[in-house]
Amino acid sequence: MIEVRNLHKKYKDHHAVKNISFDVKKGEIFGFLGPNGAGKSTTIHMICTMLAPTSGSIMINGYDAVKQKNKVRESIGIIFQENTLDEKLTAWENLMLHCKFYKVPKSERKTRIQEVLEIVDLVHEKNKRVETFSGGMKRRLEIARGLLHYPKVLFLDEPTVGLDPQTRAHIWEYILRLKEKQGITMFLTTHYLDEAEISDRIGIMDKGEIITINSPAALKKEIGGDIIELSTAEHQATIATIKKDDNIIDVTDHGDVIHIKVQNSDAFVTQFIKQLDVPIRTLNIRKPTLNDVFLAFTGENIHKTEEKEA
C-alpha cells in the first residue's frame, strides 16, 4: 500500500530524513516510533503530499506522491493531533463540509455521513455543536471525518494524546473495528508504547534513519533475555556483586531499583541469590517490553522524549 524508496529530506544543511526505504502492507497497522527530532513528522508529511522530498520516491495505493498528489490525497485520511473541527458547527455540518471539500458525490453524502457516525457511535449527537463535545467525542468525530472519502490508508498521529485511559481504550476499539471491517491500512505514531503493541509491525526511526522494522513480538525477541528488577538493603554492594557475574547482558541503575538483563532469569536468580549476602527488598522478573526495545535501539526512554516535548 505504501512504498518508500531512498526518501531524503534536506533542510538547508540539515539532513532530517536520510535515504530511507520501507513498505507498508495492505491492511496492516504500521507503528512509527522514534525520539523527538528523529524525522517522523518530516517523513509522514512527505508521504501525505504536504512536503516535497529532496529526493527519492513514495508510492501510495499505486500513485506517486510527488507526481499524482490529488490521487494520493483521495487515497488517504489524516487524523493529526490538532483539533481541526469547526466548533461552532454541529457534527453533521462538519462532516458535510468535508464531503464538499473532498467532492463526495451529492447523492452519496447523507448515506456516508450516517455510516461514519455509526462507526464512531455519534449518531445521537449528530445535531449537537462540536463545542459541547468532550475531548474523546471530538477525536471520534475527527476519525469519522477522516473516513468519509473511503481512504485506503489512515494516518493517525498520536490519536489518543491528552485523553483519559477509558476514552483511549474506546478510541482503540473503534480503530480496531475499522481495521477488521474495512481492511483499512493504518499508519500510526504514538508515545504510548502499550498502544503501539497493537501494530502488526513497528518501524523505529532515529536521527533520520529507519533503524529497525519488525513485529512487536519479534522486536522483543530480538533484544532477548529477561529483565530482573531488584532492590536490596545495600544498593552499591549489590551492584558490585552483579558486575562480577559473567551471565549478565546489561545492568542499569534506576535509583533504588537495579535493572539486570540476563539471557535466562531462572538460572541466574538461583545462582545469584546464593552469592548475595545482603537482604533483598524486592525482586521482579519480567520479559522485555516495547519500552525496553525502544531504549535498546535509540538509547532513550520514550517517556523522556515525551517530557522533552511537554
Ligand X SMILES: Nc1ncnc2c1ncn2[C@@H]1O[C@H](COP(=O)(O)OP(=O)(O)OP(=O)(O)O)[C@@H](O)[C@H]1O
Interface with ligand X by CB under 6 A: which residues? 11, 14, 16, 34, 36-42, 309
Least distance in Å: CB of 206 to ligand X?
A: 9
Residue with smaller CB distance to ligand X, 14 or 124: 14
Residue with smaller CB distance to ligand X, 50 or 119: 50
Least distance in Å: CB of 287 to ligand X?
A: 27
Least distance in Å: CB of 85 to ligand X?
A: 22
Least distance in Å: CB of 9 to ligand X?
A: 8
Residue with smaller CB distance to ligand X, 47 or 262: 47
CA–CA separation, 65 vs 78, rounded Å?
15
Residue with smaller CB distance to ligand X, 41 or 94: 41
Supply 309's cell numbers. 516535548
Least distance in Å: CB of 43 to ligand X?
A: 7
Least distance in Å: CB of 225 to ligand X?
A: 28
Angle at 80 between CA 184 and CA 45, to 5 degrees: 85
Residue with smaller CB distance to ligand X, 36 or 61: 36
Residue with smaller CB distance to ligand X, 35 or 77: 35
CA–CA separation, 177 vs 119, rounded Å?
8
Supply 276's cell numbers. 548475595
Which residues lie below 8 Å from residue 259, measured CB to CB, with a gap of 6+? 227, 228, 229, 250, 251, 252, 253
Least distance in Å: CB of 20 to ligand X?
A: 12
CA–CA separation, 54 vs 6, rounded Å?
10
Residue with smaller CB distance to ligand X, 37 or 136: 37
Question: Under the phi-then-psi rule, with left for phi > 0, alpha for psi from -120 to 50, and beta for the rest, what region is 224?
Answer: left
CA–CA separation, 57 vs 23, rounded Å?
12
Strands (E), the chain: 2-11, 14-24, 29-33, 55-60, 63-64, 76-79, 153-157, 185-189, 201-206, 209-214, 226-232, 248-254, 257-262, 280-286
DSSP state of 55: E
**Rounded-to-5 percentages of helix, strand, coil across the chain:** 40, 30, 30
Least distance in Å: CB of 77 to ligand X?
A: 20
CA–CA separation, 260 vs 248, rounded Å?
7
CB 196 within 8 A of CB 188: yes
Residue with smaller CB distance to ligand X, 83 or 90: 83
